[in-house]
Structure 1
């Protein structure tokens, strides 16, 4: 059930908070083109599911005379870092329907981004207090000194979002790579099994142990639709991953070459049902698990899952400083579509609120867990 309340009134401007996305926001997000010029640009097709997933979401709107000018989504991901329990708010579904004055045309160098929070904009001026104390999103009273972080994944070429995040007090703590794995004719593996419900707690223990040195690990979407797949050796999981089906409506594949190649793919029987001129379907891989020395088994699992689900393409996202990324960086063999689509990079941006210095240092020193489900 959606609840709505007003945080601020200022003449004809209001800041409102709702617990589910409004029809106006849904309509606007369906029209919003994701991606940046020069790269793949697309529309999401599963927004309703994604925007309503999770146990605690808030959508904050800036309205003028009742008309939406902009919105920001806060998705709660409670966590514990260095022994400190804290709120973690993932920022998603930022929607700007009105021009934001003061955003520069040229991207600032990272060294200059820290000065962006001194700028004043229509949207930023009114929502900065919420970024300083996100606990006020909740209707019940919360401690003003409650430790929390706000975090966002922002494409490094996205000028507006990078500058807006700086205005909201976020800083870069790391970077991630988003890349694909493909097999035009994936081979079947007879060793793949799905995880039954009674096995999930034991498998999750292994996954948590694997990501014990990562910050912001959360398991909300692991085992979703019973789609976590593993390969065992001597009764123990040695490779595992969660899959999600994703479809994007394509506006532009990025450049003349990739658009031309995509056109050629639509003529290949094996590919044309998954790659069209205006649509692409793929798997998103999450919560990847690989025991040291079993990298070949992980590749067997990834390829076998593609074959089993009748796909040729999958997407992954991970921290550039993580051991997981090192597997793919060193082993390569990511497939022909990866050579065409390439790798995109994003910054992991965080605002620390009432957070001890040692916890901040942990975020800076340790890799961040990146769930593809929340970012694809």
Structure 2
């Protein structure tokens, strides 16, 4: 298997009249500026990510593509090369993220062109087997349509599960995991997620933000927490109006959300020792208290045991009660590998990395 070599210099991979597509090894200021002004979502919640400057340089083996029209950057797309655990072992993959087209150029075919040429470049320079994958919210019909047109197919559905506490308290058994315990915890996580697919734990322990709950010196629950801030532009329906126009001005309840700078935790790599499932809520609340936040987000496969455990435990908080469920499609495009090799049975759960979806 010959992986693509991550670019070390910028190069032109497509040129036609006033249109060019460049491939480079790192995000340019133009890419950062475009992403800073990108609003995600269509018919559902609409929001902007923040803090690109800090996170984007930690992407694994990135291929940054820029679409230029008359020498102006109007589109960007990134493919992150990584090996992931799938149903039949390990495989080379390319995760797609940071897809954006400037608003005035949407709906004119530029997004489809950019993705098509980026994928074609990887296909020309990489020996199969490998596959591409990405997460796309069901409400983002434009991106879903472009992906399907480019040969992507859905293999599973993730649900955004919200957890919140107005005044989170930190349990005495809670602590940040020390780095000397990382190897043991990684082995435990590999066992926990051995029946999942698309498992990649490369960003677990990122910023040393793995937290645990211990009982008699033994870890009974653990989680990776990534602080995130979004600017929420719009939320649909009556509930959306309440969240956007009422909650921010109600004393106490306004602790839950600030649409202009909504700070929360994106969580992954959850571990719970069997028989200690109730400890999970204590761990999540303690993690919120540690950061001084009031809400957290987990992206969970609709078929995964953890989602069922959380739903059965209840007490997920006001944010969960107020918000309508948001679902995301996991899309794949394969080369020299079948979908069954990636996901061996329809309900095999998919692992979603918080570093990737936030």
Compute the TM-score of the two structures, normalised by the length of structure 2: 0.89
Distance 2:202 2:212 in 1: 18
Q: Structure 2: where are the runs of 5+ without partners?
A: 1-6
Partner of 2:46: 41
Residue 90 of structure 1, CA deviation: 1.2
Residue 373 of structure 1, CA deviation: 2.4
Summarize the Cα distance change of 1:255–1:45 in structure 2 as closer, same or farther, 3 Å threshold: same
8 Å contact 2:37–2:48 — kept in the other structure? yes
**Deviation digits for residues 10-65 of structure 1 (CA, Å, limit 9, x no counterpart):** 3333221112122222112111112334x332221111223222231111123233
8 Å contact 2:87–2:342 — kept in the other structure? no
Distance 2:339 2:258 in 1: 50
Summarize the Cα distance change of 1:66–1:194 in structure 2 as closer, same or farther, 3 Å threshold: same
Partner of 1:55: 60
Partner of 1:27: 33
Q: Which moved more, 1:64-73 or 1:241-250?
A: 64-73
Residue 276 of structure 1, CA deviation: 2.6
Q: Which moved more, 1:326-335 or 1:295-304?
A: 326-335
Summarize the Cα distance change of 1:123–1:185 in structure 2 as closer, same or farther, 3 Å threshold: closer
Distance 2:321 2:309 in 1: 17
Partner of 1:203: 185
Match of 2:222 among 233, 240, 250: 240
**Deviation digits for residues 228-279 of structure 1 (CA, Å, limit 9, x no counterpart):** 1111234432210011111112222434544444554445665546633522
- Does 2:167 correspond to 1:185? yes
Residue 305 of structure 1, CA deviation: 1.6
Match of 1:131 among 119, 133, 153: 119
Partner of 1:5: 11
Residue 76 of structure 1, CA deviation: 1.9
Match of 1:158 among 140, 151, 168: 140
Distance 2:100 2:317 in 1: 35
8 Å contact 1:86–1:146 — kept in the other structure? no
Q: Which moved more, 1:12-21 or 1:164-173?
A: 12-21
Q: Secondary structure of the residue that 1:328 maps to in structure 2? A: helix
**Deviation digits for residues 162-196 of structure 1 (CA, Å, limit 9, x no counterpart):** 10001111100000000210111223310112111
Distance 1:292 1:159 in 2: 39
- Does 2:73 correspond to 1:68? yes
1:176-325 equivalent positions in 2, closer than 5 A = 176-267=158-249, 272=254, 275-325=257-307
Provide the alpha-carbon RMSD of the alignment. Answer: 2.5
8 Å contact 1:274–1:282 — kept in the other structure? no
Which 4+ stretches in 1 moved above 4 angstroms? 261-264, 267-274
Summarize the Cα distance change of 1:230–1:5 in structure 2 as closer, same or farther, 3 Å threshold: same
**Deviation digits for residues 204-228 of structure 1 (CA, Å, limit 9, x no counterpart):** 1101110111111112221122211
Q: Secondary structure of the residue that 1:77 maps to in structure 2? A: strand
Partner of 2:355: 373
Residue 77 of structure 1, CA deviation: 2.3
Summarize the Cα distance change of 1:337–1:8 in structure 2 as closer, same or farther, 3 Å threshold: closer
8 Å contact 2:197–2:342 — kept in the other structure? no
Q: Which moved more, 1:349-358 or 1:315-324?
A: 349-358
Partner of 2:3: none
Partner of 1:88: 93
Distance 2:176 2:196 in 1: 25
Match of 1:335 among 293, 307, 317: 317
Q: Secondary structure of the residue that 1:316 maps to in structure 2? A: strand
Distance 1:205 1:342 in 2: 36
- Does 2:5 correspond to 1:17? no
Q: Secondary structure of the residue that 1:278 maps to in structure 2? A: helix
8 Å contact 2:303–2:347 — kept in the other structure? no
Q: Secondary structure of the residue that 1:20 maps to in structure 2? A: coil
8 Å contact 1:263–1:277 — kept in the other structure? no
8 Å contact 1:6–1:15 — kept in the other structure? yes
Q: Structure 1: where are the runs of 5+ without partners?
A: 102-120, 137-141
